[in-house]
């Protein structure tokens, strides 16, 4: 959506706060032995207290409140009995709907502090997100975001999972336009003031190719390499974007 009124901005800010609160609560419980279902329940309690609902459940019938993906699971992992182990990289991808407005964010969190390579991968995704946000302003072609993201990812020697993109958001999870994390020459449409989008570099240590894991939801890297993902929902302005999910 494109924001036209102060009320819309406030409604989106409120949805963004719920997302940030849920992520904060969930990440505080990340440790060896916790199950992804327990993390999901923590997020669900934050939603319930705020009167928010799960975007994935509402829009797609996702079998959980939040998407929680571990190691080679790139996106859309279903919360369940899997218990985290030291060294795992867990992605907490949280989308809330509050009063008809949506916000979406993701962090990658390491369990314990054992793997330098997973930490570096997560760092690359986080820095790529911030490169993309620095490029995002009114008047700039959409493909400049992807170019900034991809340049950062490539500087680390990692790959973007090109099948998975950022997106417009606001009254649904996924709205036009797509926001790829790579330079797409035909996306020369210009960003406009008030446009609400996500930027979300989903990257892998290997080729970046993903495939269906067989449960109808989870997408894994084809080569089994670890994936990392950071995401924010932002509003385009003629200066630095407003980050709704910080």
101 lies in the binding site for ligand MF3 (CB under 6 A): no
CB of 245 to ligand MF3, least distance (A): 11
60 lies in the binding site for ligand MF3 (CB under 6 A): yes
Q: Which of 162, 151, 236, 238 is nearest to 200 (CA)?
A: 162
State which of residues 42, 108, 131, 198 lies at the interface with Co ion (CB under 5 A).
Answer: 198
State which of residues 144, 197, 231, 244 lies at the interface with ligand MF3 (CB under 6 A).
Answer: 231
- DSSP 3-state percent helix, strand, coil across the chain (nearest 5): 30, 30, 40
From residue 171, how far is each of 2, 19, 102, 103, 147 by CA, in Å? Answer: 10, 15, 6, 9, 27
Using CB under 6 A as the binding rule, the residues of this chain from 123 to 182 that contact ligand MF3 are 173
Using CB under 6 A as the binding rule, the residues of this chain from 25 to 44 that contact ligand MF3 are none
User: Considering beta carbons, is residue 201 or 208 the nearer one to Co ion?
Assistant: 201
For residue 69, the number of C-alpha atoms closer than 13 Å in the C-beta half-sphere is 27
User: Considering beta carbons, is residue 115 or 236 the nearer one to ligand MF3?
Assistant: 236
Beta bridge partners of 98: 101
Its sign, for the CA torsion 97, 98, 99, 102, is negative
104 lies in the binding site for Co ion (CB under 5 A): yes
Q: How many CB atoms lie within 10 A of CB 137?
A: 17
User: Considering beta carbons, is residue 69 or 143 the nearer one to ligand MF3?
Assistant: 69
C-alpha to C-alpha distance for 16 and 106, rounded to whole angstroms: 12
Using CB under 6 A as the binding rule, the residues of this chain from 183 to 202 that contact ligand MF3 are 200
Window 69-88: contact mask with ligand MF3 (x via CB under 6 A)? -------x------------
97 lies in the binding site for Co ion (CB under 5 A): no
Q: How many CB atoms lie within 10 A of CB 226?
A: 23
Residues near ligand MF3 (CB under 6 A): 56, 60, 62, 67, 76, 93, 95, 104, 173, 200, 231
């Amino acid at each position: 959506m494109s924001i036209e009124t102060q009320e819309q901005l406030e409604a989106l800010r409120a949805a963004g706060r719920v997302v940030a609160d849920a992520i904060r609560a969930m990440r505080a419980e990340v440790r060896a032995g916790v199950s992804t279902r327990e993390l999901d329940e923590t997020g669900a309690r934050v939603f319930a207290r705020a009167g928010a609902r799960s975007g994935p459940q509402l829009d797609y019938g996702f079998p959980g409140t939040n998407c929680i993906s571990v190691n080679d699971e790139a996106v859309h992992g279903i919360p369940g009995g899997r218990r985290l182990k030291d060294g795992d990289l867990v992605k907490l991808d949280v989308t809330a709907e509050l009063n008809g407005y949506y916000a979406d964010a993701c962090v990658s969190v390491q369990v314990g502090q054992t793997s330098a390579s997973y930490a570096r991968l997560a760092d690359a995704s986080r820095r790529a997100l911030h490169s993309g946000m620095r490029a995002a302003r009114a008047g700039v072609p959409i493909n400049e975001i992807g170019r900034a993201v991809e340049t950062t990812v490539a500087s680390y020697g990692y790959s973007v999972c090109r099948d998975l993109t950022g997106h417009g958001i606001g009254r649904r999870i996924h709205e036009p336009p797509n926001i790829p994390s790579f330079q797409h020459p035909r996306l020369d449409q210009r960003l406009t003031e008030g446009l609400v989008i996500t930027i979300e570099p989903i990257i892998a240590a290997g080729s970046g190719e993903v495939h269906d894991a067989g449960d109808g939801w989870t997408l894994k890297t084809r080569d089994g390499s670890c994936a990392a993902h950071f995401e924010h929902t932002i509003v385009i302005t003629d200066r630095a974007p407003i980050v709704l999910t910080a």
